[in-house]
Amino acid sequence: MSGGFISSAALLLGITEFIEDKKVAIKESEALLAKYETQSDNVKNNREFEAINKEIEDQQLEIKLCEKHIRDANEELTEKIKALDLAKKAVASKEGVLNHKKGELEKIIADTEKEETELNKNSADARGHIDERLMYSYDRIRNSYRNGLAVVAVDRDACGGCFNSIPPQRQSEIRLHKKIIVCENCGRILVDANLDGSDKK
């Protein structure tokens, strides 16, 4: 968003410079106009008179055109300033929400830190009692997915990771807890959704 503010500021500066350039052009045209009007008093023939009148008309048109450009640019500048103000207010509002969410997240992290430490300790202890090849497979599955889930429950006859349908026979095998069964689609380890504390142990 800050990049948007920088480009908006550059745009406002560009419009302001454009207006200043047109004001300078008006002053130059007014100076030429005064010069031609002075010369028109000293013309010697009709040809010179027409040429000077043509130059006067051109400078008058140039002044009117510059004034129109300035009016249009001022209108655009006003619109851009309003849009920029609205964008700043929107960003301030979003930042308020973001800071609130960050505060909530930090509170949740603080609340769950003790539980997380305990679970990590239990996980480290359990690793010492599990076959090395199984742990390698488990870690490989965890690292393959963004959410880090290697073990998922069968929920509503589907894998809890990829939501692929699990056949009834396969579900019966999972409920028996006789062997490790993985999802044929995503490779995650499947467990019964109704595992209680004793089963987990």
> In the chain, at which residue ranges do the beta strands (DSSP E only) sit?
151-155, 158-159, 181-182, 189-192
pLDDT for 27-85, tens place per residue?
A: 999 999 898 888 888 878 888 888 988 999 999 999 999 999 999 999 998 998 898 88
pLDDT for 86-110, tens place per residue?
A: 988 999 999 999 999 999 999 998 8
Q: Is the pTM of this model over 0.85?
A: no
Alpha-carbon gap, residue 168 to 175, rounded angstroms? 11
Q: Output the pLDDT for position 1.
A: 46
Query: For residue 200, is pLDDT > 70?
Result: no
Query: For residue 134, is pLDDT > 60?
Result: yes
C-alpha triplet 164, 168, 174: angle, nearest 5°: 85
Q: Output the pLDDT for position 197.
A: 47
Q: Output the pLDDT for position 198.
A: 41
pLDDT for 181-199, tens place per residue?
A: 889 888 888 998 876 444 4
Q: Output the pLDDT for position 22.
A: 93
Query: For residue 180, is pLDDT > 80?
Result: yes
The per-residue pLDDT of the chain, averaged, comes to 86
- 3-state SS of 6-50 is HHHHHHHHHHHHHHHHHHHHHHHHHHHHHHHHHHHCCCCCHHHHH
